[in-house]
Amino acid sequence: MAITDKDFEQLRDFIYNLCGMYFHTTKKYFLESRLTRRMEVTGSKTAMEYYSLLKSSRGGEELRFLLDEVTTNETYFFRSVPQLNAVESKFLPEIVESKGKMGFRKLRIWSAGSSSGEEAYTLAMMLLEKRATIMKDWIIEIIGTDINETVLAQAREGVYNAYSVRNVPDLYKRKYFKEDAGKFILSPEVKKFVTFNKLNLYEDNKMVFMKSFDFIFCANVLIYFDLASKSKVVQHFYNNLQPYGYFFVGQSESLHGVNDKFKTVHFPGGFGYKK
């Protein structure tokens, strides 16, 4: 079902203000198709009728369904290419240089809300490729956390379908995956750098132990939280980063109004946050 530009803008603003997720104009078609499904389920006849539902007292629950709908299939290897490029060409060399000078050769990365592990493993592969150069003799620790045991088990297993690996460059695919009956099995060489733990981001007493990260990634998680929880979790991320560390959210997410300590750092195709 096509929605008018005006309806699209209204829905976009509503979702942005509530969740901090922005729908680019180029994503109108995508939002339309996902909305259509939710409208069918809820029996809304027009986009505005659905919008009224979102604003109603039952809106919170429906919004979660809509967010699930728009973020589903969002987990795959090499998802946020602009982020990865910026880390690889700019932020990682910068951190490696300053830490190296202090004689501190250990890099810690946290993939918060790691789901089935694609993001954490993507980072591991990227760093492995630098084993001969800037990451030589470095200790690499990548930690993936999620609240859901099922996805954690999948992550630990490291077996993926063709959809998950569709963005993996050929070089990486040949080097780090073994294909078997349509499944892609991740090499132990990559897996050994990543550990997966169960963690609820709301649990303050556990969050305080996630210390000294150089990079934290948290995509498509905070959009589900209300402002107070968001602020609290983001403050934990801030505290858990090294003084020069970087924090990245999903590619259309925004932390505006959530935390005023992080500084925006802009790079080709996106932005991140610096402590």
Partner 1 sequence: MTTETTMEIARQMVASIDDLPTIPAVATQVMQLLDAPDVDVDKVADLMLSDQVMTARVMKMVNSPIYKPSQEITSLKRALVYLGIRHIKEMALTSSFINAFEDNSGAMDISTFWEHSFGVGMVSKVIAEKIRYADIEKAYLAGIIHDIGEVVLSNYHTETFAKVIKTIQEHPVKLIDTELEVFGTTHTEIGFCMAEKWNFPEAYREVILFHHEPRAATADPVLCSIVNLADLFCSVRELYYGGNAWASFNLSEEVGWKILKEQSPNLAHLDVERFCYELDDAVPQVRELVTSIFSKQ
Of 224, 23, 171, 194, give the one whose Cα is nearest residue 119. 194
With both helix axes pointing from N to C terminus, report the angle between 28-42 and 59-71 in degrees, rounded to the nearest 10: 130
Footprint of partner 1 on 22-41 (CB under 8 A): 22, 24-26
In angstroms, the CA 103 to CA 29 distance is: 51
Q: Is there a contact between 272 and 84 (Cβ–Cβ < 8 Å)? A: no
- Does position 92 interact with partner 1 (CB under 8 A)? The reply is no
Binding to partner 1 (CB under 8 A) within 240-259 occurs at: 252-257
Minimum CB–partner distance for residue 59 and partner 1 (Å): 22
Q: Which of 86, 155, 165, 218 binds partner 1 (CB under 8 A)?
A: 86
Residue 85 contacts partner 1 per CB under 8 A: yes
CB of 151 to partner 1, least distance (A): 28
Q: Which of 100, 162, 103 is nearest to 130 (CA)?
A: 100
Binds partner 1 (CB under 8 A): choice among 78, 138, 238, 267: 267
Closer to partner 1 by Cβ: residue 90 or 105: 90
Q: Is 264 in the site for partner 1 (CB under 8 A)?
A: yes
Residue 138 C-beta-side C-alpha neighbours within 13 Å: 28
Give the range of 19-27, 112-120, 130-138, 176-184 binding partner 1 by CB under 8 A.
19-27
Asked if residue 233 lies in contact with residue 225, where contact means CB atoms within 8 angstroms, the answer is yes
Nearest residue (CB) to partner 1, 136 versus 266: 266
Per-residue b or e along 10-24, where b marks 16 or more CB atoms closer than 10 Å to that residue's CB: ebbeebbebbbbebe
Judged by the rule CB under 8 A, the positions of this chain that interact with partner 1 are 16, 20, 22, 24-26, 85-86, 89-90, 252-257, 263-271, 274
